[in-house]
Structure 1
Amino acid sequence: MIKTLMNYIKEYKSASLKSMIYVSIEVIMEVYIPYLMADLVDLGISNGDMNIIFKIGLYMIFCALISLIAGALSGKYAAVAASGFAKNLREAEYENIQNFAFSDIDYFSTGSLITRMTTDVMNIQNAYMNIIRTMVRSPLMLCFALFMAFRINAKLSIIFVFAIVFLGIVLFLVSTRVHPKFKKMFKKIDNLNSSVQENISGIRVVKSFVREEHEKEKFTQASDDVYNLQKAAEKILIFNNPSMQFTVYCCILAISWFGAHLVVSNSMTTGELLSMFTYVNNILMSLMMLSMNIVMITMSISSCERVCEVINFKSTLTSPDNGLKEVKDGSIDFDHVYFNYGQVDEGYVLEDINLHVDSGTTLGILGATGSGKTSFVQLIPRLYDTIKGSVKVGGIDVRNYDLKVLRDNVAMVLQKNVLFTGSINENMRWANENATEEEIQEMCNLAQASEFIDKMPHQYNTHIEQGGSNVSGGQRQRLCIARALLKKPKILILDDSTSAVDTKTDALIRNAFMEKIPDTTRIIISQRVSSIQDADQIIVIDDGKIIAKGCHEQLLNTCEAYRDTYLAQQKGGDFDEQ
């Protein structure tokens, strides 16, 4: 874990080192001032010597100024180093998340990944700032102050040794017991963030079903879980400050008692006793800061583990070394394919799938909700890997292709259409960042999107809100189809992506595909038989198996499920009734 984190300090090593050097200078000056104060009292004030008072006073002012400047510079470089370190960690997490397979994201959960990139990184940033500043300052102050105290009076300074041992035991007990609490708390924060993310993304559904109270109760439960764990951790942490205060007062009383006897017996001067009181404050304040930082570091250890888990996580789906850089054509073969999301040999989502699709043809897929249609097409661009069997594109197993090359040749319009904040042009260029205005307009014409774009005040420069919330479902679908076409793919997959458009527009889109992209293999998943009846080949999937395949006329004669669906829709029945 430490090795992983150290890799991301990188260019901020210099700032970290400067912060530690400046804080060391700050400490040396602070520790030296009480020593000068003892001479000021014993040599200057006691003897009434103004020259010595003036001289030592100047030295003290000089030391205070140096300490102030060094402290400010230390704080500046600590802030730069900690902020830069946090930036690198966030970037490393985000970069690795981009390589995650869908199953990897499911493993972590969206809420957990958000927590690890925000709350956990912030904890690490704060802990690192304290490590290079306070965790350097406190031990140095402790050591130097102890050295000066022993130099003034070794016997009296033994009091500090007992204080350090006592506080060390308390800190050890507190930190070892509080760490498991924080570890559990961060998991609950994951659940809290997941609840918020799910609620906000599905707020329209929540309001349409009037489930606000249910969502409030769910959030309250998640919030209470975090509260209860944090409260349990704080119940342990509260022993820290009382123990510190108890030690401080005991040390002051002990030094006052024994120091007074030493002054009376002339074994110690008044100035030295005053210095000892200052060193009491320095030593015990150092211990207090040290204890607080140990608690913070204890809390951040859980965050470090969680961040490193994301950074070091190896995706279950990776691009092969020296993967093939060219896809010959859009032909597709499924050879005895078995698949499930749990990676176990039971309960297959897809079972013994065998299919050949010629390049440039159209494949229609019909099946009930949950039958495995989407899982089927997600294997083609290798969003998931098969459990058994192989999926081939262009006659080559998809696992042998370079992932980027394969996915650049397979365009997929999912059931849930996603648009991003920005103009229509900017959204289109997600598929091809070098696409010209003419190419964008051509593909929007092909997807029947230009008819509503041309009516917009700013046309292709119209701003799209996050998720495409300022356009209708049908408009969103057509924009997503146009974006997919801009990739000029060898395989185009439409996963029920024309469900929100009328049948006339649906027919226009399909006819445009036949005329404009005849060499592209087209896969259309639809609940409407009318959307797939002109396909070269149609398959009917039920419970993860292909129960029938053929053209429209053949299936009407041989497949009861297909025929019943067609007849129900011809009579105006529910499209999903199959």
Structure 2
Amino acid sequence: MIKLFRFLKPYTSYIVAVFILVFFQSISELYLPTLMSDIVNKGIVNGDTNYILKIGGLMLLVAAGGTICIVLANFLSSKAATGLGKILRNKVFSKVESFSLQEFDKIGTASLITRTTNDITQVQQVLMIMLRMMVSAPMMCIGGIIMAVSKDAGLSLVLVAVIPVLVLAIFIIARTGIPLFKAMQVKIDKLNLVVREELVGIRVIRAFNRIDHEKKRFDEANNDLTDTAIKVNKILATLMPVMMVVLNFTSIAIIWFGGIRIDNGKMQVGDLMAFIQYAMQIMFSLIMVSMMFVMIPRASASAVRINEVLDIEPEIKDAENLKNSNSKRGYVEFKNVTFSYPGAEQPAINNISFMAKPGETTAIIGGTGSGKSTMISLIPRFYDIDSGSILIDDMDVREMSQESLRNKIGFVPQKSVIFTGSIRENIKYGKDNASDEDVKCAAETAQAMEFISNMKDGFNSIIAQGGTNVSGGQKQRLSIARALVRRPEIYIFDDSFSALDFKTDAKLRSALRKETTDSTVIIVAQRVSTVMDADRIIVLDEGEVVGMGKHKELLNDCSIYREIVASQLSEEEIA
């Protein structure tokens, strides 16, 4: 956790001020029992009212000063802790943004959400408590012992017997709780995962009538977390009773032996009262320490998880010596490209070579799992290849900055992702400075104007979270418009027409041809009708190219392509 405190640098002045304020507040707390002792020993015993009023007024001033100090300390520690939380959230989010898909696959979305929210909150809360107690607890404990000994060294032997008992209790409870705190964070991840899957997949769950099954899954994850939380709270629940029992027996022992010493004339009543207060301060400082020991293990477990994210070095990063793009625009070439997913037994694609040029449409077709989507995800460098090279304008993508590479590409993913906000904002996501005319033109080309104009507020109509208030086909058209508005050098459509009817599909492809005359177009599709007019069709099977050419050439030369065509088109259509 200490590793995370390096981010507290902007709040150094606050932390120094907190320590100073808590120091003075502790001094005031330690001084008050001595003043009270003087009032009893010198004022009440001698009947000196003026002395009582004088020292009583001083006590009020000291108490007021201590109160002001602790209020200011609490305010500043809260600002520092919440500031650290803000910085950590920014750091974690920025780091996650730099991850390749491999890092996302490794940690998991649910865990990343937990680490960005729950884990950072745990660290933030503990820091707030530590800033208040880090100075206060040791000072109150050590100062209390010194003041208690100064009042009566003999009676201090009671504390010598009690303190080891408290320390042992704190150690046992903290040692038992640490593994459970770590387990709790993992189980929160699991619960988040189940909830996220159920919320995202609610349509499938209802369609297959699996509500009871999902309730059972949630109950299992929830009960598992609850059981662990109960175990932790049972352990913590034993701490306070143990502390209070020790505290009360300590008070009894002090009063018992103190009474004997007063009876023998070795101690004054005021000193005994002060001694009891110092003993209570020592006990409560140890209780504060115990609370820190209880909270720090959980925060430490959270801090480890946060550091795991911050310490991950993305596998895909910009080369040290980046090259500038040349005058060519939109040329894409695969040279003997092989790629395997981490842990896979065999490559997802193997020895792929082809070239796509501006003004041409290159289509990729093949069976499910043949490597189509994998192949095109390598162009924007979502993953790095194992061997071979991918060239954009005769330059290896690994020698280009990721920003400049992706600026050349308009990518439409297989699963349409629409963000909360207006339709205009979703289309302008492809290009921030796009004009309203550009947005309208992109929507018209994507065949989205019909449904947009029928919506109440047109381009200002709000898209619900996840795009739940638009259909699958409408989402696809908005995704296509988002790519079109940036007018990139390379268009990549990953099965982006699957939710469109044949009429809209044909109109969209016709409009695209007019808009993309100077760009390279790469289309992944399942439908033969979508790819048959392409300048080049690449047929994939089990990660390898088994055919490449135009529609009629492949009908004659590629048996797998003929099978795909025969499964979708009638003999008349094929002819």
Q: TM-score, normalised by structure 2?
A: 0.96
Partners of 2:475 and 2:15 lie apart in 1 by: 49
Amino acid at match of 2:111: S
Measured against aligned partners, the alpha-carbon deviations of 1:58-80 in whole angstroms (never above 9, x if no partner) come to: 01111111111111111111111
Q: What SS does structure 2 have at the residue aligned with 1:133?
A: helix
Structure 2 residue aligned with 1:324: 323
Q: Give the superposition deviation at 1:421.
A: 1.0
Partners of 2:456 and 2:256 lie apart in 1 by: 86
Task: Tell me whether 1:509 sits opposite 2:496 in the alignment.
Answer: no
Structure 1 residue aligned with 2:351: 352
Task: Tell me if the contact between 2:258 and 2:272 (Cα under 8 Å) persists in the aligned partners.
Answer: yes
Amino acid at match of 2:329: D
Task: Tell me if the contact between 1:330 and 1:360 (Cα under 8 Å) persists in the aligned partners.
Answer: no
Partners of 1:162 and 1:508 lie apart in 2 by: 89
Task: Tell me whether 1:295 sits opposite 2:309 in the alignment.
Answer: no
Structure 2 residue aligned with 1:186: 185
Partners of 2:397 and 2:140 lie apart in 1 by: 62
Structure 2 residue aligned with 1:391: 390
Q: What SS does structure 2 have at the residue aligned with 1:431?
A: coil
Structure 2 residue aligned with 1:373: 372
Amino acid at match of 2:220: Q
Structure 1 residue aligned with 2:221: 222
Structure 2 residue aligned with 1:338: 338
Partners of 1:448 and 1:183 lie apart in 2 by: 52
Task: Tell me if the contact between 1:421 and 1:464 (Cα under 8 Å) persists in the aligned partners.
Answer: yes
Structure 1 residue aligned with 2:542: 543
Partners of 2:161 and 2:428 lie apart in 1 by: 69
Which deviates more, 351-360 or 524-533? Answer: 351-360
Task: Tell me if the contact between 1:322 and 1:402 (Cα under 8 Å) persists in the aligned partners.
Answer: no
Task: Tell me if the contact between 1:422 and 1:464 (Cα under 8 Å) persists in the aligned partners.
Answer: yes
> Any residues of structure 2 matched to 1:133-212 within 5 Å, and which?
133-212=132-211
Alignment CA distance shift 1:96-1:448 (3 Å): same
Alignment CA distance shift 1:322-1:425 (3 Å): farther
Flag structure 1 segments of 5+ consecutive residues without an equivalent.
573-578
Q: Give the superposition deviation at 1:325.
A: 4.2
Amino acid at match of 1:330: G
Amino acid at match of 1:476: K
Alignment CA distance shift 1:179-1:325 (3 Å): farther
Q: What SS does structure 2 have at the residue aligned with 1:412?
A: strand
Q: What SS does structure 2 have at the residue aligned with 1:352?
A: strand
Task: Tell me if the contact between 2:430 and 2:486 (Cα under 8 Å) persists in the aligned partners.
Answer: yes
Amino acid at match of 1:78: S
Measured against aligned partners, the alpha-carbon deviations of 1:226-246 in whole angstroms (never above 9, x if no partner) come to: 123223333443442243223
Structure 2 residue aligned with 1:39: 38
Partners of 2:90 and 2:464 lie apart in 1 by: 25
> Any residues of structure 2 matched to 1:42-61 within 5 Å, and which?
42-61=41-60
Measured against aligned partners, the alpha-carbon deviations of 1:59-116 in whole angstroms (never above 9, x if no partner) come to: 1111111111111111111111111111111111001110010110111101101110
Structure 2 residue aligned with 1:576: none
Task: Tell me whether 1:21 sits opposite 2:20 in the alignment.
Answer: yes
Q: Give the superposition deviation at 1:125.
A: 0.7
Partners of 2:157 and 2:325 lie apart in 1 by: 77
Q: What SS does structure 1 have at the residue aligned with 2:26?
A: helix
Amino acid at match of 1:457: K
Structure 1 residue aligned with 2:274: 275
Task: Tell me if the contact between 2:158 and 2:253 (Cα under 8 Å) persists in the aligned partners.
Answer: yes
Structure 2 residue aligned with 1:474: 473
> Any residues of structure 2 matched to 1:59-74 within 5 Å, and which?
59-74=58-73
Q: Give the superposition deviation at 1:373.
A: 0.8
Structure 1 residue aligned with 2:245: 246
Q: What SS does structure 1 have at the residue aligned with 2:32?
A: helix
Structure 2 residue aligned with 1:521: 520
Flag structure 2 segments of 5+ consecutive residues without an equivalent.
none
Task: Tell me if the contact between 2:325 and 2:395 (Cα under 8 Å) persists in the aligned partners.
Answer: no
Task: Tell me if the contact between 1:325 and 1:405 (Cα under 8 Å) persists in the aligned partners.
Answer: no
Structure 2 residue aligned with 1:575: none
Q: What SS does structure 2 have at the residue aligned with 1:266?
A: coil
Partners of 1:359 and 1:192 lie apart in 2 by: 48
> What is the count of residue pairs matched by the alignment?
570
Partners of 2:528 and 2:486 lie apart in 1 by: 27
Partners of 2:322 and 2:512 lie apart in 1 by: 30
Q: What SS does structure 1 have at the residue aligned with 2:350?
A: strand
Measured against aligned partners, the alpha-carbon deviations of 1:130-175 in whole angstroms (never above 9, x if no partner) come to: 1100232211111221121111112212322332222222222322
Partners of 2:405 and 2:412 lie apart in 1 by: 16
Amino acid at match of 2:239: N
Task: Tell me if the contact between 1:96 and 1:310 (Cα under 8 Å) persists in the aligned partners.
Answer: yes
Partners of 2:437 and 2:160 lie apart in 1 by: 80
Q: What SS does structure 2 have at the residue aligned with 1:454?
A: helix
Q: What SS does structure 1 have at the residue aligned with 2:358?
A: coil
Amino acid at match of 1:284: M
Which deviates more, 88-97 or 60-69? Answer: 60-69
Q: Give the superposition deviation at 1:508.
A: 1.7
Which deviates more, 358-367 or 544-553? Answer: 358-367
Amino acid at match of 1:478: R
Structure 1 residue aligned with 2:260: 261
Q: Give the superposition deviation at 1:433.
A: 0.6
Amino acid at match of 1:448: Q
Partners of 1:360 and 1:166 lie apart in 2 by: 82
| Structure 1 runs of 4+ with >6 Å offset | none
Which deviates more, 12-21 or 88-97? Answer: 12-21
Structure 2 residue aligned with 1:2: 2
Q: Give the superposition deviation at 1:420.
A: 0.8
Measured against aligned partners, the alpha-carbon deviations of 1:426-479 in whole angstroms (never above 9, x if no partner) come to: 112211111111111111111111222222222111111112211111111111
Partners of 1:200 and 1:16 lie apart in 2 by: 42
Partners of 2:66 and 2:463 lie apart in 1 by: 55
Amino acid at match of 2:334: F
Which deviates more, 48-57 or 454-463? Answer: 454-463
